[in-house]
Amino acid sequence: MTKAVHNVTPPRAVTMADVAARAGVSVATVSRVISQSRPVAQSLRDAVMGAATELGYQVNLVGRALRKGRTATVGLLVPDLDNPFFSSVAQHLSTAFEGSATDVLIFSTCGDLHVERRGVESFLGRQVDAIVMIPCHEVESAASVQRAAQATLTIQLDRQVVDADVHFVGCDNDAGMSLITQHIEEHVDAEAQPVLYVGARARSSSGHERFKHFRQDFPDRPSYLGEFDFGWGQEAVDSLLADGHTRGTIVAAADIIALGVIARLHVRGYRVPSDFRVIGFDGVGVARFAHPTLATVRQPVEEIGRTVLDLISTEESEPSRALRIAPAFLPGESSPN
């Protein structure tokens, strides 16, 4: 027995005319409200948005992009969303774009150069209006940065390929390290608690800049270089204890490293800050989980996000600039004043 086949007609898409009829306004008013192209009285805006919600109206973003020649999207490439700092940066950048009618799309490169290149091509294929990149490597990411810059507005964020002719927006790492040096000079007995550095190998400009500045200010002090992660902070503690350091002031290149340092010191029976002071760098994301509270340099992520938005919102192209924004020192119990 053959079953009858019924043709199912898909539901008709709700149009602006439907919304206008429900709200009791003109189609032009609906268009202005939806596109946010011109100011509209709040009462009319509420009526239109209420009608759109009731009817289930969906903006045709593809059609809008074809009409305007812009997709109202920005692509953000981050090295690793497992790193709480990068997750926090993505959150703050998305927040900066709220109300701008531009959506931020996020792609994690997992610290892999090939994945980074695929992310660039993916965003370009979607015709994003701009690409914001935190490069995986300060040298080897050059090809991906250049490829993005050839096709659309490209901004390097937090880290940079130094020779790339594109905008850079990030923390002034030199200023941040100077704040740490000032704190040590004013509040630390460096003879009783000698300074040590736990940082990351020079694969990123941020790690490179922080380590370089530390070496300038403390040229004779031991340094331990690994990765920007919690596990490396733990390993570094085992190494420095094995080297005979039983008291000190540990400057960590990132808060995530500092948390690993503090956790391992506790396990090994050392007290913070009585035996070892610990100072971080980032001030967002995981800093609030530190015990004792972490003394750290806080990156100006809110201002960084607004600066990126300003660069993308500028209609006229302008020569590439490196915009380094000064951070602030946050006191904490891990290295008290």
Instruction: Describe the crossing of helices 142-151 and 113-125 by its angle, rounded to 10 degrees.
Output: 10
What predicted TM-score, i.e. pTM, was given to this entire model? 0.78
Least confident window among 111-115, 119-123, 314-318:
314-318
Question: What is the distance between the alpha carbons of residues 194 and 192, in angstroms, rounded to a whole number?
Answer: 6
Least confident window among 96-100, 121-125, 213-217, 279-283:
96-100
Say yes or no to pLDDT of 219 above 70.
Answer: yes
State how far the alpha carbon of 47 is from the alpha carbons of 15, 20, 151, 199, in Å.
16, 9, 40, 56
Least confident window among 27-41, 133-147, 224-238:
27-41
pLDDT digits 0-9 by tens, 229-274? 999 999 999 999 999 999 999 999 999 999 999 999 999 999 999 9
pLDDT at 315: 61
**Band (72; pLDDT cuts 50, 70, 90):** confident
Tell me whether domains 71-170+301-324 and 173-300 share a fold: yes
Instruction: Report, as an integer, the average pLDDT of 70-92.
Output: 87
DSSP calls for 5-56: PPPPPPPPPP-HHHHHHHHTS-HHHHHHHHHT-S---HHHHHHHHHHHHHHT
Instruction: Report, as an integer, the average pLDDT of 70-87.
Output: 86
DSSP calls for 166-216: SEEEEE-HHHHHHHHHHHHHHH--TTTS-EEEEEE-TTSHHHHHHHHHHHH
Instruction: Report, as an integer, the average pLDDT of 284-300.
Output: 89
**Above pLDDT 70, what percent of the chain?**
91
Say yes or no to pLDDT of 45 above 80.
Answer: yes
Say yes or no to pLDDT of 5 above 60.
Answer: no
pLDDT at 41: 83
Comparing 239 with 62, the larger pLDDT belongs to 239
CATH number of 173-300: 3.40.50.2300
User: In CATH, what is the architecture of 71-170+301-324?
Assistant: 3-Layer(aba) Sandwich (3.40)
**Above pLDDT 90, what percent of the chain?**
60
Opening angle at CA 265, ends 270 and 259, nearest 5? 140
pLDDT at 66: 44
The residues spanned by each domain of the chain are 16-59, 71-170+301-324, 173-300
Say yes or no to pLDDT of 202 above 80.
Answer: no
